[in-house]
């Protein structure tokens, strides 16, 4: 993502989201948890939110309504209301035009749908229609006379003619087809689009198009991408939309919306600190068996995947068997993992030194398992375990220095080495009190030159539970 786009993002005051395959997966209804975070953080920053969909209000599922968007641009812009139900804009298709459309559809031998502001009906029910519409609007009634006592904002075709289907000239002057399914098109006013509906909201708020960001995936988002200051296409987007997008993000399942907004600096990842909530931590565990006792370690592959993979593979290969802790400094740390026992050796499974993995969720608190290195991105096989019990800083001082409050509290009450944060990759944490007792026992051994123990402290083996 380029710097220019990040600069443009600073002007955004409202973000509109398509529904299907943007906020949720159309075929399964899956909505990632990150969507709630997106809406909450945008609201906290004073950025408005809106739905911009081909769906009607009756098709906005409860889970999305619960997000409390500020505006709903529905039926491809034909019906717009705010969060309190106040109508901002509406474009009704004249009744004579609806009648002409129905006559044409019947003459062509195709089925159709009639869409009001808060409900819709079908002219017929068969497998082709059900395949197209039920995933969006399940159980719509069959009522070919729905239009006789309802305002119509949009129409549908149901057929298998694809892009070859064309409206007759008389209708094409006023209506156009927008393909959204292999067996169906939305039929909307020629001037109608999501962009037209969004523009009504923008005018209502006294904003400009440059203040608008949109997320979408389909052909009915084309005009909206041309209108908005920033258009972001989902990973499954139609090729034509991708061409017009300012940025292409990941899919719904991959938290595409959150990922794009995080890149733009508009949301921040909610941090969880597994070292603080160790009982709830999941993932592989290791037992470092030494001639002074065992130390059980919880590993964190989510935050440090490459480092954990390296440690586990070396352990399973017996690489650490018989290796000593070659450097021990009480009230600091114990260091091992070098087969040469000198602090100058050791190799990773990657055949070369590998990069640091600094996670904002992991810190060098007491009991942390961290990588030893000779500078940035020089990780191999050596590691250390933080032993320091005392820290001359209060939690308040650490918080002021930029450490998260939860971590600052742990540092202040339990100890650690905060000066090593973002210098050494943390990838595990001692898991029980017995392990800390072994850690302190090892830290207390007599040492000589270069902080090497007078009597070897040996790693007998490291056992891994995946």
Dihedral class, residue 83 (left if φ above 0, else alpha if ψ from -120 to 50, else beta): alpha
The pTM assigned to this predicted structure is 0.65
Question: Rounded to whole angstroms, how far apart are CA atoms 339 and 290?
Answer: 15
E runs forming strands in 211-275: 212-216, 230-233, 247-248
In the prediction, which pLDDT does 2 show?
84
DSSP 8-state code for residue 138: T
Instruction: Write out the catalytic residue numbers.
Output: 18
Nearest to residue 380, comparing CAs of 436, 323, 440, 465? 323
Q: Is 252 exposed, middle or buried (0-12, 13-18, 19+ CB in 10 A)?
A: buried
Quick one: which of 240, 57, 34, 218 has its CA closest to 153?
57
CB 393 within 8 A of CB 365: no
pLDDT for 191:
87
CA distance 226 to 236: 19
**CA distances (Å), 21 to each of 29, 31, 219, 241, in order?**
9, 9, 13, 14
pLDDT of residue 24: 95
Q: Which pLDDT score, from 0 to 100, does residue 271 have? A: 86
Residue ranges of domains in the chain, CATH in brackets: 1-87+191-262 (3.40.50.1000), 93-187 (3.30.1240.10), 276-463 (2.40.100.10)
Measured between alpha carbons, how far is 394 from 417 in angstroms, rounded to an integer?
A: 13
What pLDDT is recorded for position 163? 84
Q: DSSP assignment, residue 185?
A: E
Q: What is the pLDDT of residue 421?
A: 97
End-to-end alpha carbon distance in the chain: 36
Q: Are 17 and 67 in contact (CB under 8 A)?
A: no
Phi and psi torsions of 245, nearest 5°: -75, 145
Q: For the chain of 466 residues, list the mean pLDDT of each consecutive stretch of 10.
A: 90 97 93 96 97 92 95 95 95 96 96 95 96 92 95 96 91 92 92 93 97 95 96 94 96 96 91 93 96 98 97 98 98 98 96 96 98 97 97 94 95 97 98 98 97 98 96
Dihedral sign from CA coordinates of 302, 306, 311, 312: positive
Residue 126 buriedness (CB in 10 A; 0-12 / 13-18 / 19+): exposed
Order of strands, sheet of 120-122, starting from the edge strand that comes earlier in the sequence: 120-122, 111-115, 154-158, 184-189, 175-181
φ, ψ for residue 134, nearest 5 deg: -65, -30
Let me know: does 69 contact 51? Beta carbons within 8 Å.
yes
Beta strands in 300-408 (DSSP E): 323-324, 327-329, 333-336, 368-371, 383-386
Question: Could you write out the DSSP letters of every residue in 4-35?
Answer: HHHHHHTT--EEEE-SBTTTB-TTT----THH
- Cα–Cα distance between 334 and 172 in angstroms, integer? 78
**390 to 365, 397, 439: CA distances (angstroms):** 11, 15, 15
Task: Sort strands 293-299 and 323-324 into parallel, antiparallel or unpaired.
Answer: unpaired
Query: Residue written as tokens 């595990």?
Result: 428
- Tell me how far the alpha carbon of residue 114 is from its chain's centroid: 36
pLDDT of residue 180: 87
Q: Residue ranges of the alpha helices (H) in 52-183? A: 62-65, 95-108, 127-133, 169-172
C-alpha pair distances (Å), 435 with each of 65, 128, 160, 431: 49, 64, 68, 7
E-state strands within 300-411: 323-324, 327-329, 333-336, 368-371, 383-386
Question: What is the pLDDT, as a whole number, of residue 149?
Answer: 93
Q: Which structure tokens are listed for 400?
A: 């002021």
């Amino acid at each position: 993502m380029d710097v220019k786009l990040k600069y443009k993002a600073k002007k955004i005051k409202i973000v509109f989201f398509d529904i299907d395959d943007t906020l949720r997966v159309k075929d399964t209804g899956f909505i990632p948890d990150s969507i709630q975070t997106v809406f909450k953080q945008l609201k906290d920053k004073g950025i408005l939110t809106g739905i911009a969909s081909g769906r009607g209000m009756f098709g906005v599922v409860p889970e999305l309504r619960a997000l409390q968007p500020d505006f709903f641009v529905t039926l491809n812009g034909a019906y717009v209301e705010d969060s309190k139900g106040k109508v901002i804009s509406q474009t009704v298709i004249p009744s004579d035009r609806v009648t002409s459309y129905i006559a044409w559809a019947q003459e062509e031998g195709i089925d159709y749908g009639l869409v009001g502001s808060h409900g819709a009906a079908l002219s017929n029910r068969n497998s082709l229609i059900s395949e197209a519409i039920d995933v969006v609007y399940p159980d719509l009634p069959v009522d070919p006379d729905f239009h006789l006592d309802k305002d119509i904002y949009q129409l549908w075709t149901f057929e298998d003619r694809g892009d070859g289907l064309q409206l007759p000239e008389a209708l094409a002057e006023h209506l156009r087809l927008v393909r959204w399914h292999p067996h169906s098109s939305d039929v909307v006013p020629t001037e109608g689009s999501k962009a037209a509906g969004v523009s009504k909201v923008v005018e209502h708020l006294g904003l400009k198009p440059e203040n608008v960001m949109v997320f979408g995936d389909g052909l009915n988002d084309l005009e909206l991408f041309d209108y908005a200051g920033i258009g972001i296409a989902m990973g499954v987007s139609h090729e034509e939309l991708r061409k017009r997008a300012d940025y292409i993000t990941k899919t719904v399942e991959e938290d595409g919306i959150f990922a794009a907004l995080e890149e733009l600096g508009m949301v921040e990842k909610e941090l969880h600190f597994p070292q603080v909530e160790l009982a709830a931590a999941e993932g592989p565990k290791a037992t470092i068996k030494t001639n002074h006792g065992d130390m059980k370690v919880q590993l964190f592959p989510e935050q440090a995947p490459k480092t954990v993979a390296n440690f586990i593979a070396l352990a399973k290969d017996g690489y650490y068997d018989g290796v000593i802790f070659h450097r021990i400094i009480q009230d600091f740390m114990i260091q091992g993992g070098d087969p040469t026992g000198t602090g100058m050796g050791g190799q990773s499974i990657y055949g070369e030194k590998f990069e640091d993995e600094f996670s904002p969720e992991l810190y060098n608190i007491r009991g942390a398992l961290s990588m030893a290195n000779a500078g940035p991105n020089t990780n191999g096989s050596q590691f250390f375990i933080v032993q320091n019990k005392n820290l001359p800083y209060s939690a308040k001082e650490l918080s002021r220095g930029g450490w998260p409050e939860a971590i600052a509290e742990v540092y202040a009450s339990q100890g650690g080495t905060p000066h090593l944060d973002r210098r050494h990759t943390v990838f595990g944490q001692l898991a029980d009190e017995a392990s800390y007792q072994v850690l302190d026992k090892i830290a207390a051994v007599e040492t000589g030159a270069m902080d090497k123990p007078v009597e070897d402290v040996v790693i007998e083996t490291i056992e891994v539970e995946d």
